Amino acid sequence: SKHLERHDEL
Amino acid sequence: MNIFRLTGDLAHLIAIIILLHKIWKSRSCAGISGKSQVLFALVYTTRYLDLVTSYVSIYNTFMKFVFLATSYATIYLIYVKFKATYDHNHDTFRIEFLILPSLALALLINHYFNFLEVLWTFSIYLESVAILPQLFMVSKTGEAESITSHYLFALGSYRALYILNWIYRYATEGHYDLIAIVAGVVQTVLYCDFFYLYITKVLKGKKLQLPA
């Protein structure tokens, strides 16, 4: 989920 | 989402459409580096593995899917369908010199040491240099078709617009990602020489020709 929090860009 | 990121994403999308359209219409991939396109496919594949593990928005999922699909379509056009027109004699950049250092750096400098995160970091590092085989090809032949120049300009603009997005996000949300920012700046700097030639030549109707 930390991954999701940070990588919300393309 | 803000205006800088949206226009950045659109510039990226437009670049891909310009490239696919050029190859399809001319039935030729002359002047296009297949190696840069292979690197981009590798970039999207390693970055968008999270397509199956995490959901951000319909927009994100759709764009990731489009970038993946179009990158493989481009490779298919270059290496299969219009293979005879592929200028491999001028596409001689050694991509292992970009892939291996990017991988090593991703293993050393990342936010978290796990599989998805290291691959995400690798994709960020690799993307920053993935255009080098294409720029090398242009410098080797000494010229680029206008349409190839438009493609490069749109593709270069995308990360430059992302830098504005990151400044905006830092100012409004306090959000920042140092790995993406440093790599994005490197990526944009690599295009600077090209941007200069594009503005001073291509936009004035001249062909992009490098001084002999």
Cβ neighbour number for residue B16 with a 10 Å cutoff: 22
Q: Residue-wise over B120-152: b if at least 16 C-beta within 10 A, else e? A: bbbbbbbbbbbbbbbbbbbebeeebbbbbbbbb
Going from the C-alpha of B105 to that of each of A5, B67, B116, B124, B142, the distances in angstroms are: 22, 24, 15, 11, 32
Q: What is the pLDDT along chain B (212 residues), one digit of tens a residue?
A: 999 999 999 999 999 999 999 999 999 999 999 999 999 999 999 999 999 888 899 999 999 999 999 999 999 999 999 999 999 999 999 999 999 999 999 999 999 999 999 999 999 999 999 999 999 999 999 999 999 999 999 999 999 999 999 999 999 999 899 999 999 999 999 999 999 999 998 889 888 888 76
Structure tokens at A4: 């999701």
Q: Does the structure's ipTM exceed the value 0.85?
A: no
CB spacing of A10 vs B67 below 8 angstroms: yes
From B56's Cα to the closest Cα of chain A, the distance in A is 6
Q: DSSP for B67-131?
A: HHHHHHHHHHIIIIITGGG--GGG----THHHHHHHHHHHHHS-SS-SHHHHHHHHHHHHHHHTT
Asked if B115 reaches chain A (Cβ–Cβ under 8 Å), the answer is no
Asked if B5 reaches chain A (Cβ–Cβ under 8 Å), the answer is yes
Let me know: does B112 contact A2? Beta carbons within 8 Å. Answer: yes
Of B60, B111, B177, the CB nearest to A10: B60
